[in-house]
Chains A and B, each alone.
Chain A
Amino acid sequence: MEEKGKKPPLLQVIDLHTSFTTDNGEVLAVNGVNFTLEEGKTLGIVGESGSGKSVTAYSIMQILEKNGHITEGQILFQGEDITHYSPKQMNVFRGHKCAIIFQDPMTSLNPVYTVGNQIEEAILIHSDKSKSEARAAALEMLRLVGINDAERRIKQYPHELSGGMRQRVMIAMALASEPSILIADEPTTALDVTIQAQILELMQELQRKLNMAIIIVTHDLGVIAQMADEIVVMYGGRICERGTADDIFYRPAHEYTKGLLRSIPRVDNMKEKLIPIGGNPINLLNMPKGCAFCARCDEAMKICIDEVPPELRIHDTHLASCWMNVKNQNYMEVPDKDE
């Protein structure tokens, strides 16, 4: 890890392992995840349920359930490892440096406080503003996230707002102390398409205004295609493939990604039959020895069952972990270790 006087990336996740202690044994939900997030960019993490995409996001914020813990790896924020932060340091990190919004804005807002109170609370905790200053700031945040009639809305309770408006309030709270990273965990899954378009547009607009980086976690390839500069594809707690949006959508180099793209209806050939991925999603309690996807992969070879594929550099910006690339020699000459 050489410095060379270069500014370290905004966020770097190195070999992250997160596991949960359950009655049925240790469950390794995140199993060696690496990625880098640059300032002002959007990273998309895509995967199905149980792929570890949300746990990766929660690990960065250290808001895992009680039985979950980071067992290995580093999370570097501007070059500083935050995995050893004390709870007090983490409280500063959360909110100031990095904020998160969740899928369901109803359950993440407190039903017995007005939205104004809740945004003010976030501001009061993270700054030395007075109560009236916080009120004014909260009002301004509501206007920033495009809520009309903010003076009235600030006095309302979450149940009086629609789903889209609640998600706007969540974004206002998250952005109250100007974080450099916004993590959005399935931010629009609970919303209708026209409202989803509003929220995604809002996130992009705020990103430009505040030069903030976004990590968007979703299972929706359409949302990812619209939002992400770079994409990480996860399956069974591991990264299958990562690269720019174009790498992943136009030159997928992992059988899982290829299968996913084949299984969704494409605009150009609507009436063609979909090609599903066979089998069922993986059970994390019962992980195979080799590649996590091998049981559902049509191209699986003997080595896939026995050994975990190494991450190979396919192209400058594009890395994938699939034995097929070794077989077809589809990688750059020197498969250098990323970090």
Chain B
Amino acid sequence: MSDQSTKSGSLVKVEDLKEYFPIRTGFMRTTMLKAVDGVSFEINPGETLGLVGESGCGKTTVGRTLLRLYKPTGGKVYFEGHEVNDRNMKEYRKKMQMVFQDPYSSLDPRMTVEDIIGEPLDVHKMYSSKGERRDTILGLMSLVGLNAEHATRYVHEFSGGQRQRIGIARALAVRPGFIVCDEPVSALDVSIQAQVVNMFEDLQEKLGVAYLFIAHDLLVVHHISDRIAVMYLGRMVEMADADELMDHPIHPYTLSLLSAVPVPDPETARAQKRIILEGDVPSPLNMPSGCAFRTRCRYATEQCARECPPFTDRGNGHMVACWEK
């Protein structure tokens, strides 16, 4: 296949992405852990796609495989219509960046803030003089609300919220069009979360950058996203416009996930009807046949055990993978 095979206006296009990890399950025996098993989606310029799901559902792996931090087992990733592969990967790293969950372990404690933010500039040789490098760094720092005097400090001198700002400045350094945000606010205190969420929104307005916003906090995801995708055990079960998904969920898993969200409002909480799911998420090493959710689903039928439901459009781009609903 040639480099351009998509003509749509999407910025990032992911087709049937697969990521399997070999796991040793015994002497001389390995099993494939299907962390991501055929995920497809598109993100438009300046758009935010929220990706939610429980731990182990593969949402982080989608983000990492998309950026080729892991080599994909299968599937294709397109950026502006061009396929991203091993050869041109470095070039696309300039266009696609990542902000990590843990602002403590994702920043080098031996580097100053200036060097952390400057490192992507060094890697991609994006300046012609020392002065230009410094100006770019200071510009980025003011963009994320850090003072110029912070430039020579080390990471341990900063609070969690400020560290996350450093991580965001580093991601923005190469002026990417797309950023994967992997749980960027879940390690922060409630009072700081809003600061960082607002900053993501402001930056999007200013720079037109698109986000894949991975998080488990559905209220935050709903707030920031244009569209939301829900994952369960390596596959997408539902994807729709943010309000549409929250107001009219179709997939039984989405329904129970939404009903489980603790709403910070006592009256709503008292009136809330929970759909409590039985049991735990099955082990991804031992996936149920057919629809992965059927073991916890109250609508499950024989067909669900036999065949994996297709991800189909139910109108207005509301995609659902379910036989029964």
Contact = CB atoms under 8 A, between A and B. Distances in A.
Interface of A: 48-49, 148, 162, 164-165, 192-198, 200-201, 219-226, 245-246, 249-250, 259-267, 270-271, 273-278, 280-281, 296
Contacts of B161: 280
Contacts, number: 132
Most buried by A among B242, B257, B260: B260
Nearest to B161: A280
Contacts of A148: 279
Most buried by B among A197, A219, A259: A197
A274 B162 CA distance: 18
B89 interface: no
Interface of B: 54-55, 159, 161-162, 189-195, 197-198, 201, 216, 218-220, 222-223, 242-243, 246, 256-257, 259-269, 272, 274, 276-277, 279-281
A212 B18 CA distance: 49
Nearest to A264: B264
B313 to A, nearest CB: 24
Contact of B262 (A195, A223, A278): A223
A235 to B, nearest CB: 9
A274 to B, nearest CB: 4
A261 B264 contact: yes
Given A196-B262, A226-B263, A259-B191, 20 more contacts: A48-B190, A164-B280, A193-B261, A197-B274, A198-B277, A222-B269, A225-B263, A226-B272, A246-B266, A263-B191, A263-B193, A267-B219, A267-B263, A270-B223, A274-B198, A276-B192, A276-B193, A281-B191, A281-B192, A296-B191
Most buried by B among A48, A271, A274, A275: A274
A146 to B, nearest CB: 10
B277 to A, nearest CB: 5
B276 A225 contact: no
Per CB-CB distance, the 10 closest pairs between chain A and chain B, nearest first, are A222-B262, A276-B194, A263-B194, A197-B260, A192-B54, A265-B223, A221-B264, A48-B189, A274-B194, A276-B195
Most buried by B among A263, A264, A278: A264
Contacts of B54: 192-195
Contact of A201 (B189, B218, B265, B274): B274
13 contacts: A162-B281, A193-B218, A194-B260, A195-B280, A197-B274, A197-B276, A222-B261, A225-B263, A226-B269, A261-B264, A263-B194, A264-B264, A267-B263
A281 B189 contact: yes
A267 B189 contact: no
A297 B141 CA distance: 25
Nearest to A51: B189
Nearest to A272: B223
Nearest to B56: A192
A192 B191 contact: no
Contact of B256 (A164, A194, A275, A278): A194
A95 to B, nearest CB: 28
Most buried by A among B197, B266, B277: B266
Given A48-B190, A196-B260, A276-B191, A265 B222 contact: yes
Nearest to A219: B190
A245 B266 CA distance: 7
B264 A249 contact: yes
B205 to A, nearest CB: 11
B277 A194 contact: yes
